[in-house]
Chain A
């Protein structure tokens, strides 16, 4: 079977982002960009399913500006067979992203689509669920364990109450949680090999996707600062301070 993996490029998780003083956005010029950490986990899981003989092909896909080719080459170096680059200069909102992925599903006919549970830039946590809805297929979100057998997958999900296991018929959409796996490191020879792997480029404008970008961001602001705290010397002082605040 074929697995399609969503592979978004985001500001690296170690970067402390800054809001522009005029409230028009966050500073993204000149900052380090990386694969969304949850998408690395998604790709790793797809590669493991291929290594187990369950999948035969892993395709990574991204919706990103024209300069994102190096990002996709990373996915290929990690082990994906092919890459699809849907080119657009604009950031797209989850509903549009889901509609684009539905087009890719129609074209590629994957049995499993694996996405990260959320992107660490917009923190939406929507695309996988929306895609499953539009595709009219099952969703297994926040996956921490995936077992595929025959035409179904048993997925353990990280929910607030603990760990929930569900069974879904394939094809299905799975979104990854942190504990699903530990993504592999990219080795130098694989970076060389990735250069000759197929990378298909599609223009978002040519796909005939209706925009779902109906939310308008009118302002960006830094979070409210907490007032400066105090340091105490020992446990007794700490308890006294908490008692003063009425917390004990």
Chain B
């Protein structure tokens, strides 16, 4: 008898697709019910989006002005209060949001947390990657405690829309701290698809050479309708902002098509793209490790190849 509570991630009044991916993981647990908890200042529109996800039994909303921004110290006590209503599992996406809040919830409940579930063996047994994805472990959590876990979003498809779950307002009645305050969020203003949910991603690395040269990557991405990513080397060199970083310490993605351009393929980077459908590598160094995992490789100068590619794409 599993009752799963999924913590909804949202921003600017919109539900993040990571929530629907958590629903897929909850379905793999063979949950008897899957409820989604929306903490927000005005949760109605977000809750309505969550109610449409197929497989969701019920959406619980907690409206409170202090929930306007996802602060772990404020969210966690409310999640704990909600979880104590008979839930056996609390799931959050393994995004910066989920990674921030879930361990705080687990510690308040006095239980361990399973990070980054990539597959479900049974309701309390999961696989997860360690050592930058170089080993996959099977972990078993005690069945007599609430299980708190984060779900690796790249490993799970988003559950489809078409559901019609009831929405209920929930009163949590817990005292919330004032020691943590939101100041601001500086968002990279991008018209391009979101890196974590895009079906195509074009990434540039150190080989691109400069921030100015990165324009060639953006141009190709726009031509393909792809999101843009980057290696840590490109971010550290200041070519692009850090929210584009793909890898163990950046974003872990699983697009259908991943194009690595001027990226050597350090272990740290490969762990972020291992689940991609098709990996294309363009690099002038034929010995670059990226070619070991690429499905299609092309050795050559990216500044010559990209214009040719664009011409071939028409």
Contact = CB atoms under 8 A, between A and B. Distances in A.
Interface string A192-219: 0000000000000000000011111111
B297 to A, nearest CB: 5
A57 to B, nearest CB: 23
Interface in B107-148: 107-108, 110-116, 125, 129-142, 145
Nearest to A96: B112
Nearest to A23: B138
Q: Which of B103, B134, B183, B313 has the most CB of A within 10 A?
A: B103
B137 A94 contact: no
Contact of A95 (B111, B115, B183, B313): B111
B296 A223 contact: no
B257 A129 contact: no
Interface stretch (A46-54, A72-80, A160-168): A160-168
Given A166-B182, A215-B141, A229-B297, A123 B136 contact: no
B286 to A, nearest CB: 9
B96 A159 contact: yes
Contacts of A122: 130
Contacts of A239: 309, 312-313
B115 A124 contact: yes
A125 B297 contact: no
Contacts of A241: 296
A223 B311 contact: no
A229 B136 contact: no
Contacts of B243: 158-163
A232 interface: yes
Interface residues of B, number: 89
Given A160-B196, A168-B180, A141 B312 contact: no
Interface string A138-169: 11011010000000001001111111111111
A166 B96 CA distance: 14
Nearest to B241: A162
A160 B305 contact: no
Given A167-B181, A168-B179, A229 B135 contact: no
B166 to A, nearest CB: 30
Interface range for A: 35 or more
A234 B183 contact: no
B221 to A, nearest CB: 13
Given A123-B132, A166-B181, A139 B297 contact: no
B27 interface: no
A242 B280 contact: yes
B186 A162 contact: yes
Interface string A111-131: 000000110111111111111
A188 interface: no
B248 interface: yes
A226 B114 CA distance: 26
A163 B309 contact: no
22 contacts: A13-B267, A26-B130, A94-B103, A95-B110, A123-B116, A136-B177, A138-B179, A141-B72, A158-B96, A166-B181, A168-B179, A169-B180, A213-B112, A214-B145, A215-B114, A216-B139, A217-B138, A221-B135, A223-B136, A229-B293, A238-B309, A242-B257
Q: Please provide the 10 A-B residue pairs with the shortest distance between their CB atoms, ordered closest to farther.
A: A235-B308, A129-B103, A133-B107, A130-B107, A126-B103, A165-B183, A169-B179, A162-B187, A219-B138, A239-B312
